Amino acid sequence: MRKILFLTVLLLSFTIMLTSCRPPELEGAFVDFNAKRYDNALKLAIEATDKYPTNPEAPFLLGKIYAEKEMFGEMVDAFNKSLERGSEYESQIKEFKQYYFQNEYKKAYDNYVSYQDMAGDTTEKAMKLLDLSIKHSKNASLIVPDDYRPIKLTGLAYNYKDENDLAIDYFKKLTKLKPDTTDGWYQVGRVYFNTHQYEKAAEYNKKAVEIDQSFIPAVELLAFSYESLKDTVNSIKTYKMASEVDPNNVSYIFNLGLIYNKQASSTSDNTEKARLYGLAEEQFSKAISLNPEDLDSYQRQLYDGNLEIMYTLDCIAQIQQKKFEDCKNTALSGLDLFPDSDELYEFLAICYANLGESAKAKEAQERAKQLKGE
């Protein structure tokens, strides 16, 4: 008992000795801080920080007060000032910054997810969620400026608010922070593409693809950018390059077929038309041959269409080349998956007619009319 009493007295004496060494302004700031009188504490802590330029404890406390008032830029400045004066509070400062960073980033992320859960709602309530996400992600960036996550989150939120210039500014910060990371370059290119600035979109997505040729969204957007610029040579080159990396990517195959199909339909040279339809057929048939186990997953890969459209385009390419037997087989295969496709029945009727099977042609044509409601 006497030993416990002795240790208690010793600890109390030590605490008194420490606090008695504090300047009166700083001691007063601590008293107000512990009583949660933050405005008074702030005033006294600023005074102590200025009055005692070698004291690291005053700016350390000042930083804690700023944190309570959610003034995170000022918090960081105060903590840095404390570290300039000494390393006594270095570990505590690190812990404080990490705590407030995680806290602010979580608030930013939660508000962003809540907005996404509203499925594109543009009401005032939805916009407020984006504003809160931006506020807290910016706070997180003030605390840890070189963390990638809150910067990207800020850009995404601005993008959803259609404040595209600000979105681009933040996404460009990602390319400077981590120039060897594909995502930042892609995000900039994506905003440029969506705002019809196709040359810039191509520039940034080309950089993304140079870093990682397997990053599908950047490859797609690079090819789309070239198509929008009517640069089919580079668009085709992009898909061919990507297909070498990922030969079974149905989206690459389908979109390459679409380019050949568009070229074929726009030329008046019959020889060139046949050649291009042949190239289109080659791509569509290859994509169809992949035989998806999960149709929904397969179709999610196709930005401009679905598997039914692929069957119809393959039939068109085959009919244009007078490959009626091949087209008949393609149409029948497609109807196994899409039995209510009036277009496939029409193509089937054309094939039967050209193959001399008039009864089957008539039957297929009647079925097409029924499905159209004629």
Report whether 175 contacts 188 (CB < 8 A): yes
DSSP type of residue 249: -
Q: Which own/partner pairs from 321-329 qualify as long-range (CB within 8 Å, at least 24 positions apart)?
A: 321/274, 321/277, 321/278, 321/281, 322/354, 323/281, 324/350, 324/351, 324/354, 324/355, 325/351, 325/355, 327/351, 328/352, 328/355
Report whether 227 contacts 259 (CB < 8 A): yes
Q: Alpha-carbon distance 189 to 222, whole Å?
A: 8
pLDDT value of position 291: 63
- Evaluated on CA atoms 360, 364, 365, 370, the torsion sign reads positive
Q: What is the pLDDT of residues 76-95, one digit of tens each?
A: 999 999 999 999 999 999 99
Please name the residues in contact with 134: beta carbons below 8 A apart, sequence gap of 6 or more.
108, 154, 157, 158
User: Mind listing the domains of the chain with CATH numbers?
Assistant: 17-88 (1.25.40.10)
Q: For 148-288, where are the E strands, in sequence order? A: none
Give the residues of the chain that fall short of pLDDT 70.
1-20, 291-305
Report whether 287 contacts 317 (CB < 8 A): no
> Which pair of tokens denotes residue 21?
């060494």
- Evaluated on CA atoms 280, 281, 286, 287, the torsion sign reads positive
pLDDT value of position 373: 86
Instruction: Provide the whole-model pTM.
Output: 0.79
pLDDT value of position 305: 53
Q: Alpha-carbon distance 323 to 315, whole Å?
A: 9
pLDDT value of position 11: 41
pLDDT value of position 15: 44
Q: What is the pLDDT of residues 319-334, one digit of tens each?
A: 999 999 999 999 999 9
SS3 breakdown of the chain: % helix, strand, coil, rounded to 5? 80, 0, 20
Nearest Cα neighbor of 224 from 197, 261, 245 is: 197
pLDDT value of position 10: 38
